[in-house]
């Protein structure tokens, strides 16, 4: 298990490091919100999901898309704006989607995929499916009105959904304590009748263990659950650089998170030959994905208004 968790973490880290390296060349045509430092959240939860389970996420979605099984080639091509991208080059990094593996959508508009996820969970309940939905969002999204509405409805209908708040403590440059009158997000959630718990330290193994137990309960029909995972973004809010010189946060604050890097932690739990093989394979996969994106064509101009509106609901996964 350590080897598979390490591979999942390392894939995301290497992909995003390469993204940061390439970004200044302007071959990537969309903004990028890196998740370096936060990989454990998507990996720890997704490792406990079944293929037919679905996830919804945010513009900081590289980690989630990859952890749930999205194609790396299609993701990099999407960032390059190429027709081989997962949204045929129209969505960019902030709108990754791979319904074939249960990545139902990520969005730039804060909080908007939370009610989408609840709606999907309602459909699952209606169809008596034993799949479940996981809704990932940031601490900032918990300030959106639709967050409270979604919790209420999910609790009322006892829907098969796990809410995962990736609490990196910042919404762009503003700390949670300067935005929220009560920063205890779990307390606000339990007030809606949903059991909630906090993982305080980005611990991928603890998260895996808790997510396994919690998803089992959801699948058994016990209704929605909530996990708040404390984590930390190492890079700037958007873009390929570090931003500790800006003054809204300090390198000292980041240091404990960097020292407890879950990628390094898992690397140390895997035998050296296995680790080296994983690193070789992943590095080749990452370089291959960038070569694929580079070699792919841009969409034809005739595609401009294709796939932007669909009359029938896509329910093939339900
Ligand atoms: C509805 C809406 N309001 C404001 C914004 C501007 N905005 C973009 S990212 C962001 C911060 C969100 O922070 P959080 O949810 O904690 O996610 P993180 O970036 O930390 O992953 C804001 C306010 C937006 N995109 N959508
Ligand atoms: Mg945040």
314 lies in some domain: no
Tens digits of residue pLDDT in 21-46: 999 999 999 999 999 999 999 999 99
Query: Quick one: tokens of 259?
Result: 């020292």
Q: Would you put residue 82 in left (φ > 0), alpha (ψ -120 to 50) or beta?
A: beta
Return mean pLDDT, the chain.
Answer: 96
Residue 309 lies in a domain: no
**Residue 318 falls inside a structural domain:** no
* H/E segment holding residue 161: strand 161-167
- Residue of 105, 88, 14, 69 lying closest to 290 (CA atoms): 14
Domain assignment present for 311: no
Residue 235's pLDDT is 98
Q: Is residue 312 part of a domain?
A: no
- Say if residues 77 and 285 touch (Cβ distance below 8 Å): no
Residue 316's φ and ψ, nearest 5 degrees, are: -60, -25
Q: Give the residue, by CA position, lying nearest to ligand 1 atom 4.
A: 110
- Residue 161 structure tokens: 């959904």
The pLDDT value given to residue 309: 76
Domain count, the chain: 1
Locate the ligand 1 atom nearest the alpha carbon of residue 167 and give its number.
16
Helix runs in 56-112, H state only? 62-67, 72-79
Q: Whose CA is nearest to atom 19 of ligand 1?
A: 171
Strand partners, 167: 230
Among 60, 94, 107, 140, residue to substitute to test ligand 1 (most atoms within 8 Å of Cβ): 140
Q: Which residue has the tokens 């990628």?
A: 263
Q: Which three-class secondary structure state does DSSP give residue 131?
A: coil
What is the pairing mode between strands 174-175 and 170-171?
Answer: antiparallel
Domain for residue 307, yes or no? no
Q: Which ligand is nearest to the CA of 172?
A: 1
DSSP H stretches of helix in 38-168: 39-46, 62-67, 72-79, 113-126, 145-156
The two beta strands, 161-167 and 170-171, are unpaired
Ligand number with the minimum distance to the CA of 38? 1
Q: What is the pLDDT of residues 132-186, one digit of tens each?
A: 999 999 999 999 999 999 999 999 999 999 999 999 999 999 999 999 999 999 9
Reply yes or no on whether the pLDDT at 314 is more than 80.
Answer: no
Query: Residue 62 is part of a domain; what is its CATH number?
Result: 3.40.50.970
b vs e for 108-122, b when ≥16 Cβ sit within 10 Å of the residue's Cβ?
bebbbbbbbbbebbb
How many C-alpha atoms does 104 have within 13 Å on its Cβ side? Answer: 27
Percent residues over pLDDT 70 in the chain: 97
Report d(CA 116, CA 50) in Å as an integer: 20
Tokens of 251: 């390198």
Q: Kindly state whether residue 300 falls inside one of the protein's structural domains.
A: no
Q: 252: buried, middle or exposed (CB in 10 Å: 19+, 13-18, 0-12)?
A: exposed
How far, in Å, CA of 219 to CA of 172, rounded?
35
Counting every residue, how long is the chain? 318
Range of the domain at 76: 2-295
Ligand 1 atom nearest to CA at 142:
15
Confidence of residue 236 (pLDDT cuts 50, 70, 90): very high
Ligand 2 centre and the CA of 297: distance in Å? 35
Give the pairing of strands 133-138 and 161-167: parallel
Which pairing describes strands 174-175 and 103-107: parallel, antiparallel, or unpaired?
unpaired
The bound ligand whose nearest atom lies closest to the alpha carbon of 31 is: 1
- Distance between CA atoms of 191 and 195, rounded to whole angstroms? 9
Predicted TM-score of the model (pTM): 0.96
Distance from the alpha carbon of residue 203 to the mean position of ligand 1, in angstroms = 24
What would the two tokens of residue 15 be?
Answer: 């992909």
pLDDT value at residue 316? 56
Residue with CA closest to ligand 1 atom 23: 171
What is the Cα–Cα distance from 91 to 94, expressed in whole angstroms?
7
pLDDT score for 307: 83
Atom of ligand 1 minimally distant from the CA of 166 = 21
295: CA distance to ligand 1 center in Å? 33
**Residue 315 alpha carbon to ligand 2 centre in Å:** 31
Pocket of ligand 1 (CB under 6 A): 60, 108-110, 138-141, 168, 170-172, 237
Q: Tell me if 278 is assigned to some domain.
A: yes
CB 101 within 8 A of CB 69: yes
């Amino acid at each position: 298990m350590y080897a598979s968790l390490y591979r999942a973490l390392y894939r995301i880290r290497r992909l995003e490091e390469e993204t940061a390296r390439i970004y200044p060349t302007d071959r990537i045509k969309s903004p990028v919100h890196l998740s370096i430092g936060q990989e454990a959240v998507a990996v720890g939860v997704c490792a406990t999901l079944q293929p037919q389970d679905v996830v919804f996420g945010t513009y900081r979605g590289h980690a989630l898309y990859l952890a749930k099984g999205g194609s790396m080639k299609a993701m990099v091509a999407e960032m390059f704006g190429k027709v081989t991208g997962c949204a045929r080059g129209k969505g960019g990094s902030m709108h990754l989607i791979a319904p074939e593996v249960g990545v139902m959508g990520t969005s730039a508009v804060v909080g908007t995929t939370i009610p989408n996820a609840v709606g999907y969970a309602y459909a699952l309940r209606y169809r008596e499916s034993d799949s479940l939905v996981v809704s990932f969002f940031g601490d900032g999204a918990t300030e959106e009105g639709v967050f409270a509405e979604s919790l209420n409805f999910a609790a009322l209908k006892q829907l098969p959904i796990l809410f995962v708040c990736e609490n990196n403590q910042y919404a762009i440059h503003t700390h949670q304590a300067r935005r929220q009158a009560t920063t205890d997000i779990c307390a606000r959630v339990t007030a809606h009748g949903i059991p909630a718990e906090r993982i305080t330290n980005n611990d991928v193994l603890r998260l895996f263990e808790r997510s396994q137990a919690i998803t089992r309960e959801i699948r058994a029909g016990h209704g929605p659950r909530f996990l708040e995972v404390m984590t930390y973004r190492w890079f700037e809010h958007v873009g390929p650089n570090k931003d500790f010189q800006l003054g809204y946060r300090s390198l000292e604050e980041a240091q404990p998170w960097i020292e407890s890097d879950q990628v390094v932690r898992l690397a140390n739990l895997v035998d050296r030959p296995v680790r080296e093989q994983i690193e070789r394979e992943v590095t080749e996969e990452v370089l291959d994905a960038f070569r694929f994106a580079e070699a792919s064509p841009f969409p034809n101009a005739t595609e401009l208004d294709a796939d932007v509106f669909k009359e029938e609901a896509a329910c093939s996964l339900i």
